[in-house]
Amino acid sequence: MLPTYYPNGKWLAFIRVLPRRGRGREIFVVSPTGGRPRRLTFDSEYINGVTWSSDSREIVFSSPRDRAQGAVWRIPVSGGTPRPLSAALRNASFPSISRQGKQMAFIDSWSDSNLYLRAGPGFPPAGMPWQLGAPLGVALSTRTGHSPVFSPDGERFASISDRTGSNQVWISQRDGSDAIPVNVIGNQSASSPG
């Protein structure tokens, strides 16, 4: 998927989704006339866009493998370890580099979802309308928050947030106060349901 030609047309780079690896993807290069593809990456990370560097010595690709270092990476066509291109490109995907190498186009996207609490008298009898108060913002940030779950006593809740750059489980009081992270999920993506 997402093939891209080497500037002189002699090679083609593409992403392959690996079976039984979930979202794991790898970068390969192959001659457009056929032959055995050569694998460049070996870490089963999510990859969503590849392009050639202007000098054709590297493949540049986007991957959320470590957002603290950025989402755009480079790897020599001869193979090796992926290296970050720039920490400033945290949300970049689907890069494209101009032939002269002086410009790079990419998609910059991010999600800002927040958690709210609405309180009321509880579940109404069947057929009765809900009677809930106004929504109260309890986990507001400029990043993603999702998957809230109440503690057994209903006084606290846990949720997933990437407000610090990595997905983490956060616990706070019911009103959102005293929020603290309890673990780092790191490079894994904690996806919201549905």
**What single letter denotes the amino acid at residue 98?**
S
Q: What is the pLDDT of residues 111-165, one digit of tens each?
A: 678 888 887 777 677 777 777 778 888 888 777 888 888 888 888 888 888 887 7
Q: What is the topology classification, in CATH, of domain 4-108? A: Neuraminidase (2.120.10)
Domain ranges of the chain: 4-108, 115-186
**What is the reported pTM?**
0.59
Q: What is the pLDDT of residue 64?
A: 84
Q: What is the pLDDT of residue 15?
A: 92
**182 token code pair:** 């309890």
Please state, in angstroms and rounded to a whole number, the distance separating the CA atoms of residues 98 and 38. Answer: 25
pLDDT tens string for the chain (194 positions)?
677 877 777 888 999 987 765 668 999 999 888 889 999 999 888 898 899 998 888 999 999 888 778 789 999 998 999 999 887 787 788 888 888 888 889 888 766 788 888 877 776 777 777 777 788 888 887 778 888 888 888 888 888 888 877 788 999 998 888 989 887 555 444 444 43
Q: What is the pLDDT of residue 191?
A: 43
Nearest CA to 113 out of 135, 138, 145 is that of 145
Is there a contact between 73 and 64 (Cβ–Cβ < 8 Å)? no
Q: What is the pLDDT of residue 89?
A: 81
Please state, in angstroms and rounded to a whole number, the distance separating the CA atoms of residues 60 and 98. Answer: 12
